[in-house]
Amino acid sequence: MSSPEPRRLARLGAAFVCSLALAGCFRPVYGGGAATVTADKTVSGDVETRMKSVDVKPIEGRVGGKLRNELIFLLRGGAAKGATAYRLEISPLIEDGQSAVVDPLTNVQETRTISLRATFRLYPAGSLDPIFTADTVAIATYFSGLQRFANVRAARDAEDRAATQIAERIRTRVQGYFAAGR
Protein backbone atom coordinates (compact mmCIF):
# COMPACT_ATOMS: atom_id res chain seq x y z
CA MET A 1 0.00 0.00 0.00
CA SER A 2 1.17 3.48 -0.69
CA SER A 3 1.01 6.32 1.81
CA PRO A 4 -1.30 9.27 1.15
CA GLU A 5 0.20 12.25 -0.58
CA PRO A 6 1.54 14.92 1.80
CA ARG A 7 -0.23 17.71 -0.12
CA ARG A 8 -3.56 15.96 0.16
CA LEU A 9 -3.11 15.50 3.90
CA ALA A 10 -2.16 19.15 4.27
CA ARG A 11 -5.31 20.27 2.40
CA LEU A 12 -7.48 17.95 4.44
CA GLY A 13 -5.91 19.23 7.66
CA ALA A 14 -6.40 22.86 6.60
CA ALA A 15 -10.07 22.20 5.76
CA PHE A 16 -10.57 20.56 9.15
CA VAL A 17 -8.97 23.48 11.01
CA CYS A 18 -11.11 25.99 9.06
CA SER A 19 -14.29 24.07 9.80
CA LEU A 20 -13.46 24.02 13.51
CA ALA A 21 -12.77 27.76 13.48
CA LEU A 22 -16.07 28.51 11.74
CA ALA A 23 -18.13 26.18 13.91
CA GLY A 24 -18.35 28.83 16.61
CA CYS A 25 -19.84 31.39 14.20
CA PHE A 26 -23.21 29.68 13.94
CA ARG A 27 -25.90 29.86 16.56
CA PRO A 28 -29.03 27.69 16.45
CA VAL A 29 -32.30 29.61 16.31
CA TYR A 30 -33.74 27.74 19.26
CA GLY A 31 -30.43 27.71 21.11
CA GLY A 32 -30.33 27.71 24.86
CA GLY A 33 -30.12 30.69 27.11
CA ALA A 34 -32.02 31.69 30.19
CA ALA A 35 -35.13 33.71 29.46
CA THR A 36 -36.03 36.51 31.82
CA VAL A 37 -38.88 39.01 31.89
CA THR A 38 -37.63 42.50 32.68
CA ALA A 39 -39.47 45.28 34.51
CA ASP A 40 -40.77 46.79 31.25
CA LYS A 41 -42.30 43.39 30.33
CA THR A 42 -39.84 42.56 27.58
CA VAL A 43 -38.53 39.03 27.34
CA SER A 44 -34.83 38.50 26.92
CA GLY A 45 -33.38 35.12 26.23
CA ASP A 46 -33.92 32.37 23.73
CA VAL A 47 -36.13 32.69 20.66
CA GLU A 48 -38.55 29.96 21.70
CA THR A 49 -39.50 31.74 24.93
CA ARG A 50 -39.87 35.05 23.15
CA MET A 51 -42.13 33.48 20.50
CA LYS A 52 -44.34 31.97 23.20
CA SER A 53 -44.74 35.43 24.75
CA VAL A 54 -46.42 36.86 21.62
CA ASP A 55 -50.14 37.56 21.99
CA VAL A 56 -51.96 37.35 18.64
CA LYS A 57 -54.93 39.71 18.56
CA PRO A 58 -58.25 38.43 17.14
CA ILE A 59 -58.75 38.90 13.39
CA GLU A 60 -62.15 39.44 11.78
CA GLY A 61 -63.77 36.86 9.55
CA ARG A 62 -63.50 33.13 9.00
CA VAL A 63 -60.14 33.37 7.24
CA GLY A 64 -58.88 35.68 9.99
CA GLY A 65 -59.84 33.11 12.62
CA LYS A 66 -58.05 30.36 10.69
CA LEU A 67 -54.96 32.56 10.31
CA ARG A 68 -54.92 33.41 14.03
CA ASN A 69 -55.33 29.79 15.15
CA GLU A 70 -52.56 28.57 12.83
CA LEU A 71 -50.25 31.34 13.98
CA ILE A 72 -50.88 30.68 17.68
CA PHE A 73 -50.03 27.02 17.18
CA LEU A 74 -46.90 27.84 15.17
CA LEU A 75 -45.64 30.38 17.70
CA ARG A 76 -46.30 28.29 20.81
CA GLY A 77 -45.99 24.77 19.44
CA GLY A 78 -49.12 23.70 21.28
CA ALA A 79 -47.81 24.91 24.64
CA ALA A 80 -49.72 27.16 27.00
CA LYS A 81 -49.50 30.91 26.61
CA GLY A 82 -46.55 32.44 28.43
CA ALA A 83 -46.24 35.89 29.97
CA THR A 84 -47.33 38.39 27.31
CA ALA A 85 -44.38 40.53 26.26
CA TYR A 86 -45.39 41.26 22.65
CA ARG A 87 -48.62 41.95 20.78
CA LEU A 88 -49.10 40.95 17.14
CA GLU A 89 -51.79 42.68 15.10
CA ILE A 90 -52.65 41.40 11.63
CA SER A 91 -54.89 42.90 8.97
CA PRO A 92 -55.66 40.40 6.17
CA LEU A 93 -57.11 41.27 2.78
CA ILE A 94 -58.56 38.62 0.48
CA GLU A 95 -58.55 39.20 -3.24
CA ASP A 96 -60.15 36.91 -5.80
CA GLY A 97 -58.05 36.63 -8.91
CA GLN A 98 -59.01 35.57 -12.37
CA SER A 99 -57.59 32.74 -14.37
CA ALA A 100 -56.68 32.56 -18.01
CA VAL A 101 -57.73 28.90 -18.29
CA VAL A 102 -61.25 28.80 -19.76
CA ASP A 103 -63.10 25.76 -21.09
CA PRO A 104 -63.71 26.51 -24.79
CA LEU A 105 -66.97 24.51 -24.95
CA THR A 106 -68.77 25.92 -21.88
CA ASN A 107 -66.90 29.25 -21.60
CA VAL A 108 -66.44 28.60 -17.86
CA GLN A 109 -63.21 29.20 -15.96
CA GLU A 110 -61.46 25.95 -15.04
CA THR A 111 -59.19 27.36 -12.35
CA ARG A 112 -59.44 30.31 -10.02
CA THR A 113 -56.98 32.07 -7.78
CA ILE A 114 -57.31 33.32 -4.21
CA SER A 115 -54.77 35.92 -3.11
CA LEU A 116 -54.37 36.70 0.59
CA ARG A 117 -52.32 39.71 1.65
CA ALA A 118 -51.55 40.43 5.29
CA THR A 119 -49.89 43.36 6.99
CA PHE A 120 -48.64 42.60 10.48
CA ARG A 121 -47.18 44.71 13.26
CA LEU A 122 -45.32 43.51 16.36
CA TYR A 123 -45.64 45.74 19.42
CA PRO A 124 -44.03 45.46 22.83
CA ALA A 125 -46.71 44.86 25.48
CA GLY A 126 -48.16 48.17 26.61
CA SER A 127 -46.71 50.21 23.75
CA LEU A 128 -48.36 51.86 20.76
CA ASP A 129 -45.20 52.02 18.64
CA PRO A 130 -44.52 48.93 16.51
CA ILE A 131 -41.03 47.46 16.69
CA PHE A 132 -41.48 45.36 13.54
CA THR A 133 -43.82 45.79 10.56
CA ALA A 134 -44.01 43.75 7.38
CA ASP A 135 -46.31 42.54 4.58
CA THR A 136 -46.70 39.07 3.18
CA VAL A 137 -48.70 37.49 0.36
CA ALA A 138 -49.95 33.96 -0.32
CA ILE A 139 -51.66 32.70 -3.44
CA ALA A 140 -53.71 29.51 -3.72
CA THR A 141 -55.45 28.16 -6.79
CA TYR A 142 -58.36 25.77 -7.09
CA PHE A 143 -60.23 23.93 -9.79
CA SER A 144 -63.69 25.27 -10.51
CA GLY A 145 -66.27 23.46 -12.53
CA LEU A 146 -69.98 23.55 -13.10
CA GLN A 147 -70.97 22.35 -9.62
CA ARG A 148 -71.83 25.35 -7.48
CA PHE A 149 -71.37 23.82 -4.02
CA ALA A 150 -68.11 22.13 -5.00
CA ASN A 151 -66.83 25.54 -6.11
CA VAL A 152 -67.77 27.09 -2.76
CA ARG A 153 -65.96 24.35 -0.85
CA ALA A 154 -62.91 24.53 -3.13
CA ALA A 155 -62.71 28.31 -2.61
CA ARG A 156 -62.90 27.82 1.17
CA ASP A 157 -60.11 25.22 1.06
CA ALA A 158 -57.97 27.57 -1.03
CA GLU A 159 -58.54 30.37 1.50
CA ASP A 160 -57.50 28.00 4.32
CA ARG A 161 -54.34 27.01 2.43
CA ALA A 162 -53.48 30.67 1.87
CA ALA A 163 -54.09 31.46 5.56
CA THR A 164 -51.77 28.60 6.59
CA GLN A 165 -49.07 29.90 4.22
CA ILE A 166 -49.43 33.42 5.65
CA ALA A 167 -49.16 32.09 9.21
CA GLU A 168 -45.98 30.20 8.37
CA ARG A 169 -44.46 33.27 6.72
CA ILE A 170 -45.35 35.54 9.65
CA ARG A 171 -43.88 33.03 12.09
CA THR A 172 -40.66 32.88 10.07
CA ARG A 173 -40.36 36.67 9.90
CA VAL A 174 -41.00 37.11 13.65
CA GLN A 175 -38.58 34.26 14.41
CA GLY A 176 -35.92 35.97 12.28
CA TYR A 177 -36.53 39.25 14.07
CA PHE A 178 -36.05 37.62 17.48
CA ALA A 179 -33.05 35.56 16.32
CA ALA A 180 -31.33 38.75 15.15
CA GLY A 181 -31.24 39.76 18.80
CA ARG A 182 -33.60 42.68 18.62
Note whether residue 4 is domain-resident: no
Note whether residue 82 is domain-resident: yes
State which amino acid sits at residue 26: F
Q: Is the pLDDT of residue 35 over 80?
A: no
Note whether residue 27 is domain-resident: no
pLDDT tens per residue across span 43-74: 456 888 888 899 999 999 999 999 999 999 99
pLDDT for res 17: 77
Can you spell out the DSSP letters for 110-122?
A: SEEEEEEEEEEEE
pLDDT for res 42: 47
Note whether residue 3 is domain-resident: no
**Residue (of 139, 137, 131) closest to 111 by Cα position:** 139
Indicate whether this model's pTM tops 0.75.
no
Per mean pLDDT, which range of 26-35, 73-82, 102-111 is the poorest? 26-35
pLDDT for res 4: 63
Note whether residue 67 is domain-resident: yes
* Most confident by average pLDDT, 34-43, 44-53, 161-170: 161-170
* Most confident by average pLDDT, 16-25, 39-48, 96-105, 112-121: 112-121
Q: Which helix (H) or strand (E) holds 56?
A: strand 54-56
Q: Is the pLDDT of residue 40 over 70?
A: no
The structural domain count of the chain equals 1
Mean pLDDT of 80-89: 87
Mean pLDDT of 64-88: 89
Q: Which domain holds residue 134?
A: 33-179
Note whether residue 17 is domain-resident: no
Nearest 5°: the CA angle 124, 126, 131 is: 25
135-174 per-residue burial string, b: 16 or more CB within 10 A, e: under 16: ebebebbbebeeeeeebeebbeebbbbbbbbbbebbbeeb
Note whether residue 6 is domain-resident: no
CATH number of 141's domain: 3.30.160.150
